[in-house]
Amino acid sequence: MTFSVQETLFSLLRLNGISGHESSIANVMQHAFEQQAKDVWRDRLGNVVARYGSDKSDALRLMIFAHMDEVGFMVRKIEPSGFLRFERVGGPAQITMPGSIVTLAGRSGDIMGCIGIKAYHFAKGDERTQPPALDKLWIDIGAKDKADAERMGIQVGTPVTLYNPPHCLGNDLVCSKALDDRLGCTALLGVAEALASTPLDIAVFLVASVQEEFNIRGIIPVLRRVRPDLAIGIDITPSCDTPDLQDYSDVRVNHGVGITCLNYHGRGTLAGLITPPRLLRMLETTAHENNIPVQREVAPGVITETGYIQVELDGIPCASLSIPCRYTHSPAEVASLRDLDDCIRLLTALANMSPEQFPIEPETGATQEARP
């Protein structure tokens, strides 16, 4: 069957899975991998791994990964009135919460709800322009009281996701919740399809990871088992082509996949990635040779699993490919199918390279510090 980027992406976007509750996405990823891969497994945390290419024990190991989870919420308390208090899981944009439609994973199936907002007619002063604090918000599922909410299948700990089914916009753009990072998951499946019948000189491990939006470390058990020589992550990055961000950077939708030079998050996590120059050259050279458009990015405020993977084991060289995305962590993220296709083509080209083309070891020379 011919792989369709849009159909695959939309099927993944229609699934719900906050951090720690990724099973519906994991089931789809595992089933798809099992159609072609030599070896597929799911670990105890829920990460899904598929191996392609060389079976040799000494083959170079390339790990390509993307996370399955999305930002969302979890029910913290059921009020006597039947309204639900909640906490954030990950970092959904709080400014977009009031008035949002949400889906709750009840015990017997999904339940629709909305995040309440004070009637505009009665709002005064800042209430009309400023979003309430998180502890002032609630979810309305239409329950008469607490007992009714419980009968509907709600309990403390019920997962809640943003609701916005995928839509097509103009110029190959799509709008949906959870493009972060179902775009990356779609890229994994596109690469899997391309590698299914291709002999490779290296071993390629495709990993659909868990809990990136929560603790950024759900993938760690996988790399300790796989022990990759090189890791490449796929995630979104803020697109700066909207009126509010045009002075920040030149990253834009429909202009190719982003190659991260630096990302960094300094609020509690204190981690990030400075991509080794030798890997930047490898990515840009491969893209140029295959006529794939790319754009460099420096992205403070952004962090992915590479921030932690790079310091595991004996040190794992890491790079990040980013798909530009507008309105990140909102119910209406916007990204380009063209950029997604470019990402798949670049990853496929990398997987088809010979081991000698991967610059695993540090560069030597006058600027290279001597090893102790």
The token pair at 339 is: 């950029």
Contact 317, 310 (CB under 8 A): yes
- Return the closest-CA partner of residue 229 out of 286, 307, 312: 312
pLDDT per residue as tens digits for the range 231-252: 999 999 999 999 998 888 899 9
Q: How many angstroms separate the CA atoms of 314 and 372, rounded?
A: 15
Q: How many angstroms separate the CA atoms of 23 and 68, rounded?
A: 9
pLDDT at 365: 64
Query: Residue ranges per domain, the chain?
Result: 5-70+177-357, 72-162
Binding-site members for Zn(2+) are 67, 180, 213, 235, 329
Helix (H) or strand (E) run with residue 348 in it: helix 337-351
- Return the closest-CA partner of residue 49 out of 37, 41, 59, 57: 41
212 part of the active site: yes
Q: Does domain 5-70+177-357 have CATH number 3.40.630.10?
A: yes
Q: How many CB atoms lie within 10 A of CB 285?
A: 11
CATH assignment, 72-162: 2.40.30.40
Strand partners, 230: 62
pLDDT at 268: 55
Instruction: State phi, psi for 95 to the nearest 5 degrees.
Output: -65, -25
pLDDT at 269: 60
The token pair at 162 is: 């943003």
Catalytic residue among 22, 212, 297, 305: 212
Q: How many angstroms separate the CA atoms of 248 and 166, rounded?
A: 28
- Return the closest-CA partner of residue 278 out of 364, 204, 202, 362: 362
pTM of the model: 0.94
Residues of the chain with pLDDT under 50: 1, 366-372
